[in-house]
Chain A
């Protein structure tokens, strides 16, 4: 394969990563934005989504699409419920003190991860995609005989991967509509702007917090259900999404949703492309260093604006 098709292939793979990453990171960003809580257990909610998707697909049986659709509904609901319960039993009692909640969510990370290990086991298990046709992609070129059009070997994607990208886009628009156009979004934004003032105006801040924490976790679970037919469900799969979401949220500007999406696309695509040409470890080293330096020298993020 020549360089051009190769880059196209890498960006297609990168776009799938970016789509899933955007969903996961928006969940993390929402929680940080509204609650000022850094949720270290976010990656484990992602993992739970994938594992529950496997359980659901196993129980439903029949056509793969049936189980998948069921998982798409059930997994985010269950994970969101677990997260909301964790918020009400643990985080609320810590009074959302930033450092103590971080320690508590680290604890939560280990609890969820190890309970999954004890029940689900250490195996990686796949979920079958509802549809999965291979699509060969054409490549255009100006050759010696003018305009050429051919199908390079290996340049292909699947309908499922394209569907993941579309689905992620739809959900992101949904989140934006919820935040911008609905009453509950308004309550969230009010709580984000000034917690005490919101409380004074009779907004049930504690319930908003539980809801936001649940929605954040549900978004991660949804992203995991989408990716689980491509990757497999494994009890340690939460580490990478957590790290990448952190990178995205920080580069996008802490708590800024549009910045998060832009950064997710940027990081997802560049991760795909860099990993093709360089070692993935090197790509990760550069990304983590970048995050550290961004926080030190540009705490509002690369795309954010400095808020008061």
Chain B
């Protein structure tokens, strides 16, 4: 029983980290309509900055630099590339982001090389015990920080002028623009927010129980895509639900791999999120909480 509980708690805390990444996808998508394939490398950039800088300036300042660096990368990608696309369509923007991802990821991979950089997180490899269940401190902290982050996002989107402006811009850009909302500003805020969330997720994904910063971490953003799609393309609460579902699914499938192996095969845990995503797209093409596209003839 405690094994099951441990798997569930592990899955939920991993799911919360995924939902941070998924929320980044959703925010970029609603504020600029871009499917951000470079999200993974932005995440890796944040973690890389922390890993490189923590020795010289200390862990917490390095975290700050990592978050700012990721945010700045997002804002620059939007301002320099996305806004200057020759052919402004969602598909073209998605392919552009693939190009950005290739360049950024290749450069970071080259810098990291074959080594695994340690993050120098102060919580190290310590473990929190709850009764007979033990969880890595990093995971518990990740859950706490994620919940605080989503509370902050809720406050931003419902109580501040900037957040309400972003929602208005997402709902109807031209009208929002006529009402005096600067679309360039809401777009930049969206990309910056996504960058900060990605950096935070990157820090938790590369500290214990993960070995450290390696190029494969960028792939974890791809693991968050099912979470984003599941929740709905334009919904931040949906991202939370999607993240939790995907986190639970992969933790349980991996945890009970021995029992599932005869009919699903080894390593199904990596594939399970995508299977869930395809099934959801089949039943609800706009996700669980996403707004349906209205097509009028």
A binds B: no
Residues of chain B whose beta carbon lies under 8 Å from any beta carbon of chain A: none
